[in-house]
Amino acid sequence: MKQYKLVIFDWDGTVMDSVPKIVNCMHQSALACGVTPPSDEAIKNIIGLSLQCAVATLFAEQQALHAQLIAGYKHQYKYLDVTPTPLFAAVASTLAALQSQGTLLAVATGKSRSGLERLLDETKLRKYFVATRTSDDALSKPAPDMLLQLLEELDISHKDALMIGDTKIDMAMAKAANIDRLGVTMGVHNALQLSEFAPIATVDSYQQLSALLINAVALVD
């Protein structure tokens, strides 16, 4: 596979196994507002959107409650819900290996800026990323703005960048930005669903990802 100068990672469902927590927090926020919770599948399909867009999509008929639902979700996620959100196996060693071979690494996520900053510190992954974009910095996915901003900031051609994500929203964003995309199946969507956007590959683990992107590096975590 070609060597990319810049590899951009989604966060939820790609770096961190946080999909179950997101689903549970959205359920609990809905219940606290007296609204019937959406299905697990419906919630999974909005992961990657900004929280405002996600709530607007899931609760289109409860517009008057959107602000309350957003606040409730944030409170659940930060203070009440205890669903574990581990990093996927071999994330840190993969990032370290990519960095050691000179690849620039970035994040493009639907999370808020404060949420991403907190997690970069908690996971000790901040040192690997040279730039990040969140839903507070650009239009929500699947608009290409996050990726276009990263390309401009880092002076990288679209031909030299790769987007890695677990959802069709991630793949659509990358396609709109005219950059290559690679799907991971540990989060929301499966290989068949991701194939709709013609990724260069789809992998089921970071071990498989490293085999594609890293030359002669042994992963140890």
Is the whole model's pTM more than 0.85, yes or no? yes
pLDDT digits (tens, 9 = 90+) for 79-91: 999 999 999 999 9
On the question of pLDDT at 97 being above 80, the answer is: yes
Separation of alpha carbons 182 and 202, rounded Å: 6
Domains of the chain (ranges, CATH numbers): 6-17+86-213 (3.40.50.1000), 19-80 (1.10.150)
On the question of pLDDT at 102 being above 60, the answer is: yes
pLDDT digits (tens, 9 = 90+) for 110-168: 999 999 999 999 999 999 999 999 999 999 999 999 999 999 999 999 999 999 999 99
Q: What mean pLDDT value characterizes the chain?
A: 94
Nearest CA-CA partner of 64 in 55, 53, 73, 51 = 55
pLDDT band at 218 (very low <50, low <70, confident <90, very high): very low
